[in-house]
Structure 1
Amino acid sequence: MYITQAYKGLHDWWRYIIGVIIAILGVFAFSLPHVVAIIIGTFKGDIDQSQMNDTSYVMGLFEPNLNLVFILLPFAGGLLFLLLAVKYLHKQSLKHLTTTRKKIDWKRFWFIFFLWGIVSSSFVLIDYVLTPEDYVFNFKLGPFLILCVIAIALIPLQTSFEEYLFRGYLMQGIGIIAKNKWVPLVITSLVFGVLHIANPEVEKLGYVIMVYYIGTGLVLGIMTLMDEGMELALGFHAANNLFTALLVTADWTAFQTHSIFKDMSDPQTMGVMEIFVPVFVVFPILLFILSKKYKWTNWKDKLFGTVTEPPNENYKIIEDIGSDTRI
């Protein structure tokens, strides 16, 4: 059971509150370069303070590649501080936070990474073929190559922070407190979605887009619980953000990059079906494919069952402290 992996470390409820605070401190600490750049720009007169409440204006303050670095750095800080909290506050290994398997299964990660990368990219390319008037060819070799370096280096850190925080740390922590699996699944999915409410997409598309964010969190949570590990969730999220950042951008999205295409369509014309179809059609098909490939069974217990502390886990903690297996 994935959630019971938390019992292989120190799992007092208050440790999870402190751990979340530590992760937030990491986010703020690595946000300082962005804050300093904004202050310098304000003193130089390059930034209009009266527009700082406009998300689109803030997202476009700097050259796209530099702006992407500023956006992604806080997530790298959050990931670093979170993993430090797991190691020193909980005395839990990265492996036990990630999976129930003997070692992290990178084949799972890469399978879904390329599968979802191909599928999501295909949707964009099909839309480009059907409505070419909605796109501008935005490719510039130099800036694109720099984008590739930044995206490949930092986007996996961003997505890994979100996954380790929600599908890992909080899924396990809330699970052992609630003593069941559906409560952490629902809570982490809702909070994951709500934290995207500041994204410029919400401002342009309305709160209906929250169905996509919460639905994505729910699907990633189901992957984690059914597969007894985070490898699939990590791979899916990394592919979703990385391929999107490289392939298409728009003036109203969180990532405004030197991508290959730029979407010039009016986001207000996006229909409800374009938001609902991925959540209620595409994602269930994806879960079906994964369930067949990895032979998932016992859905009811894995998603709605109880969480029980395994016997003698306290002795296991003492025995493992200082062991190389905890690195």
Structure 2
Amino acid sequence: MKFKAIKGHQGIGMEVKDVTYVETARWGKHRGWRYVLGLAVIFFVGLVVGGIATPRIAFLFGGQEGFAAFNRLDYAAFGPVGGFVAVTAIFPFFLAGILIAVTLVHRRHPRTLITARERISWRRVGQGFVAWFVPFWLIAGLGQYFFYPDTFSFNFDLATFALFVPLALVFTAIQTTTEELFFRGYIMQGASIVWANRVFLALVPATIFALAHLLNPEASAGGWLTVFFNYFLAPGLVWTVVSLIDGTTELAIGAHFANNIGGSLLVGVAGNAVNAPTLFTVSKFHATYTALSMLVVVPVFLAIAYKVFKSDEASEPVFLNARIGRR
């Protein structure tokens, strides 16, 4: 599969063709120590500042009992809506840390974590959403009903669902975008400073992405098969490769949102990391089926993304005032 790139401009009056978002890492200040400092900033804001703030958010939901429940990781005590917010409330802080690191430490626009263009193509983000949502939730999600109908239950509550939908859209978008900006954006760009080999660049974020999700209950329930297929191969490696192919993370951002919003609104698994008030609940996680379904989902995703939809041509060129160099 051919690797493409986005045409852009780098520096003042100096045109550089075939610039991908990965190469924009060199548009700002990019010495190795800055990536170490950037990671420290991201984890400080996300874990320390967020760790101080999120229990206070839990207190607003449930008072002193909510504060105590949050400290013992008993998210079920907040109910399905409050529990979802309690789990995902940490991500705005991680997002803030990423934006601070890129802007202040590396002195470049946060948009360069997504694209080398002047503007983000929301059309391509939408295409990524459709390309993943359709095959994944038809095959890996509702497709399970034909094999395991007894494990499905319909639990629609109009009042709860109406309250939950806007919260799910906002917090899921923040969560998935934050993860994309970090794994396939910041980590990928940092790895490119070490070695620009495309195989290396594909493996590093995919491996770290899989390792970061090992604590999810479904990962431990499914064992190595689930970890390999559902985290490392798809979406970890697949979304990383398509980001390298596109030269942007737009497709991956849309696909990641499609993956998680379906798990928040359509089909949930009992005992999952986030127990949201989904339309359907599966009483048992079918690890083998979910993993093997990726063998069908991934080719269909790629076919929709690159055959049904066409990737955008380069839009307006990028102009950066910062000089290039190791500073």
Alignment map for 1:19-98 (pairs within 5 Å): 19-28=38-47, 29-36=49-56, 37=58, 52=72, 58-98=74-114
- How many positions carry a matched residue from both structures? 292
Greater relative contact order (Cα < 8 A, sep 6+): 2
Bigger helix share = 1
1:119 maps to which of 122, 135, 145: 135
After the TM superposition, which segments of 4 or more aligned residues of structure 1 sit over 4 Å from their partners? 40-49
Q: Distance in 1 between matches of 2:311 and 2:131?
A: 18
Q: Distance in 2 between matches of 1:282 and 1:271?
A: 15
Paired residue type of 2:231:
Y
Q: Distance in 2 between matches of 1:167 and 1:192?
A: 9
- For 1:99, what is the secondary structure of its paired residue? coil
Q: Are 2:256 and 1:218 aligned?
A: no
- How many percent of aligned residue pairs carry the same amino acid? 27
Q: Are 2:35 and 1:16 aligned?
A: yes
Q: 1:129, CA displacement in angstroms?
A: 5.0
Asked if the contact 1:59–1:254 (Cα under 8 Å) also holds between the matched residues in 2, the reply is no
Alignment map for 1:153-302 (pairs within 5 Å): 153-211=170-228, 212-215=230-233, 216-264=235-283, 266-267=284-285, 270=286, 272-278=288-294, 280-292=295-307, 293-294=309-310
TM-aligned CA distance change 1:45 to 1:258, over 3 Å: closer
Q: Distance in 1 between matches of 2:157 and 2:222?
A: 29
Q: 1:47, CA displacement in angstroms?
A: 6.2
- For 2:273, what is the secondary structure of its paired residue? coil
Q: Look up the match of 1:145.
A: 162
Gaps of 5+ in 1: 297-314, 320-327
Moved more, 229-238 or 96-105: 96-105
- For 1:30, what is the secondary structure of its paired residue? helix
Listed one character per residue, the Cα deviations across residues 179-204 of structure 1 (whole Å, up to 9, x for unaligned) are: 32221221110010011011111232
Asked if the contact 1:112–1:235 (Cα under 8 Å) also holds between the matched residues in 2, the reply is yes
Paired residue type of 2:78:
F
Q: TM-score, normalised by structure 1?
A: 0.80
Q: 1:295, CA displacement in angstroms?
A: 6.6
Q: Look up the match of 1:303.
A: none
Q: Distance in 2 between matches of 1:46 and 1:172?
A: 38
- For 1:210, what is the secondary structure of its paired residue? helix
Give the RMSD, CA atoms, in angstroms.
Answer: 2.9
- For 1:253, what is the secondary structure of its paired residue? coil
Q: Look up the match of 1:322.
A: none
